[in-house]
């Protein structure tokens, strides 16, 4: 039978998994990164390389999605992934503390821990999105994507200051204790949040005996679908453009506009505020007004990409204009457009995931997750490399302007790809009163 629709309370519960995931990740990318560079006096490339490992392992997301397809249930993969994530987060703190006295052993443990974090985040995140794609109605997808994304940001926002409070005065032992506590709490919250949300298949379901198609055959079938392949390319190009400005915007503001470190930090906060506003805008209009235009996630995805390109071109030109340019307004506009694009793209991803049948939904979502993870990791690195290379032959203002303009070009390419995304309506839902539980199909076509 057709899957039933999740209630808002169930969507929020699934969003708590993203909150827990964000709580562990933020310690890896901020606190442990800073400790390695400042307290341990390691080269910045060390934590940078470890974070790159976390992104590189996302290439395995299709295999994890396929595993949940074969298993027929997503919850065990979410809980298992969160267990790996929590273990890896705790291991990274232990590795950092160990590196104070045994650097080689500490760094080897850090490599293993960051790989574990990447695998855990990929397994849990992929299956979570598949579960949402299964149970969220078409008109709610934009709002549901906003809920889970904002709750992940809440995990960042709550954990970072709390962890910082308990880390002072700093010591390796305190880092291990704080990280262990955060990891344990995150795992418990995630496990409780998903408990009972995904309905159990009835005992003796004959689909348990259905022969499973090998992973390579399923992956080849997913990649052969024009809509799936086109969306994969769109995700890669858009996320490459989205992430390329992450590490260069604040240095640009400092070098070209003479902003202080505090000023550039506030600028980053303003951008994140714009992202949140863009997400809420899409959620409100698609749910509140709807219609063929305002309710179309494809339209909002394209508008977000165009808006991001225009904002990046404005920032690029602003450096040439000088101090009188309203940089803060342009950065907020960039965040707003990024938020519109991001949440609409996630909503579209939910709809397209089931286009080829329930049996391939996890694999399909895994392919897109891999494209996103690899592009995000590569974008930040390539953005900094491009700026450094351009500065060898150009003044800083022109070097940054050129890179921002190139990112705008990527967003325009993504706009064309976004307009070619097919709209796939959600399957018809069974009424909430139907006593038959939701049973994911394990059949193959």
Tokens for 302, please give them.
């394209």
DSSP string for residues in 183-200: HHHHHHHHHHHHTTTSPP
Task: Give residue 212's pLDDT.
Answer: 65
Task: Give residue 384's pLDDT.
Answer: 81
How far is it, in rounded angstroms, from Cα 64 to Cα 366? Answer: 7
How far is it, in rounded angstroms, from Cα 414 to Cα 421? Answer: 11
Could you report the per-residue pLDDT of 55-105, keeping only the tens digit for each?
889 899 999 888 888 877 889 999 999 999 999 999 999 999 999 899 999
How far is it, in rounded angstroms, from Cα 195 to Cα 211? Answer: 28
Task: Give residue 83's pLDDT.
Answer: 97
* 26 neighbors 156 (Cβ within 8 angstroms): yes
How far is it, in rounded angstroms, from Cα 194 to Cα 78? Answer: 8
Residue 308's φ and ψ, nearest 5 degrees, are: -65, -40
Residues in Cβ contact with 5 at an 8 Å cutoff, skipping those fewer than 6 apart: 135, 136, 137, 140, 429, 432
Task: Give residue 134's pLDDT.
Answer: 81
Tokens for 125, please give them.
């995140």
Could you report the per-residue pLDDT of 22-32, keeping only the tens digit for each?
889 888 877 88
Tokens for 348, please give them.
């579209």
Among 152, 132, 139, which residue's Cα sits nearest to residue 353? 132
Task: Give residue 317's pLDDT.
Answer: 93
Which SS3 state, helix, strand or coil, does residue 222 take?
helix
pTM above 0.75, yes or no: yes
Alpha-carbon distances, residue 38 vs 31, 164, 280, 355, 372 (angstroms) = 10, 15, 37, 49, 30
Angle, CA 229 vertex, CA 227 and CA 230 arms, to 5°: 65
Among 76, 69, 75, which residue's Cα sits nearest to residue 210? 69
State the burial class of residue 435 (Cβ atoms within 10 Å of its Cβ: 0-12, 13-18, 19+): exposed
Query: What is the residue extent of each domain of the chain?
Result: 1-199, 214-425
CATH of the domain spanning 214-425, picked from 2.40.50.140, 1.10.1740.10, 1.20.1250.20, 2.40.110.20: 1.20.1250.20
How far is it, in rounded angstroms, from Cα 41 to Cα 289? Answer: 54
Examine domains 1-199 and 214-425 and report if their fold is the same. yes
CB count within 10 Å of CB 189 equals 17
Residue 189's pLDDT band, with cuts at 50, 70 and 90, is very high
Q: Is the pLDDT of residue 443 over 60?
A: no
Task: Give residue 20's pLDDT.
Answer: 93
Task: Give residue 296's pLDDT.
Answer: 75
Residue 426's pLDDT band, with cuts at 50, 70 and 90, is very low
CATH of the domain spanning 1-199, picked from 1.20.1250.20, 3.40.718.10, 1.10.540.10, 3.40.470.10: 1.20.1250.20
* 136 neighbors 74 (Cβ within 8 angstroms): no
């Amino acid at each position: 039978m057709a899957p039933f629709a999740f209630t808002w309370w169930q969507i929020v519960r699934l969003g708590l998994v993203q909150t827990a995931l964000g709580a562990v990740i933020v310690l890896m990318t901020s606190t442990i990164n800073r400790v390695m560079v400042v307290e341990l006096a390691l080269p910045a490339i060390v934590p940078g390389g470890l974070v790159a490992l976390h992104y590189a392992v996302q290439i395995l997301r299709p295999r994890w999605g396929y595993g949940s397809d074969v298993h027929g249930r997503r919850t065990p993969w979410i809980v298992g992934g969160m267990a790996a994530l929590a273990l890896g987060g705790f291991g990274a703190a232990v590795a950092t503390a160990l590196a104070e006295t045994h650097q080689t052993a500490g760094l080897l443990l850090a490599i293993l821990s960051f790989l574990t974090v990447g695998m855990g985040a990929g397994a849990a995140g992929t299956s979570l999105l598949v579960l949402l794609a299964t149970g969220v109605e078409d008109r709610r997808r934009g709002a549901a994507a906003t809920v889970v994304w904002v709750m992940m940001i809440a995990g960042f926002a709550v954990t970072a200051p709390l962890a910082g409070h308990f880390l002072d005065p700093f010591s390796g032992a305190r880092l291990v204790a704080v990280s262990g506590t955060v990891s344990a709490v995150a795992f418990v919250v995630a496990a409780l949040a998903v408990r009972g949300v995904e309905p159990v298949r009835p005992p003796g379901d004959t689909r348990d005996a259905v022969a499973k198609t090998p992973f390579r055959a399923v992956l080849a079938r997913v990649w052969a679908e024009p809509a799936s392949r086109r969306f994969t390319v769109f995700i890669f190009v858009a996320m490459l453009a989205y992430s390329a400005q992450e590490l260069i915007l604040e240095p640009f503001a400092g070098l070209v506009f003479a902003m202080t470190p505090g000023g550039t930090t506030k600028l980053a906060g303003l951008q994140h505020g714009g992202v949140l506003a863009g997400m809420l805008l899409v959620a409100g209009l698609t749910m509140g007004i709807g219609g063929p235009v305002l309710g179309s996630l494809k339209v909002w995805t394209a508008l977000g990409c165009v808006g991001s390109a225009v904002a990046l071109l404005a920032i690029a030109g602003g450096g040439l204009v000088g101090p009188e340019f309203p940089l803060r307004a342009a950065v907020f506009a960039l965040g707003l457009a990024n938020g519109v694009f991001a949440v609409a793209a996630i909503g579209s991803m939910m709809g397209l995931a089931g286009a080829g049948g329930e049996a391939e939904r996890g694999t399909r979502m895994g392919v897109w997750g891999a494209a996103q993870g690899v592009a995000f990791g590569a974008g930040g690195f390539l953005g900094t490399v491009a700026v450094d290379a351009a500065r060898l032959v150009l003044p800083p203002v022109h070097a940054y302007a050129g890179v921002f303009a190139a990112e705008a070009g990527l967003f325009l390419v993504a706009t064309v790809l976004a307009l070619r995304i097919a709209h796939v309506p959600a399957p018809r839902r069974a009424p909430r009163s139907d006593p038959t539980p939701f049973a994911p199909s394990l059949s193959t076509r």
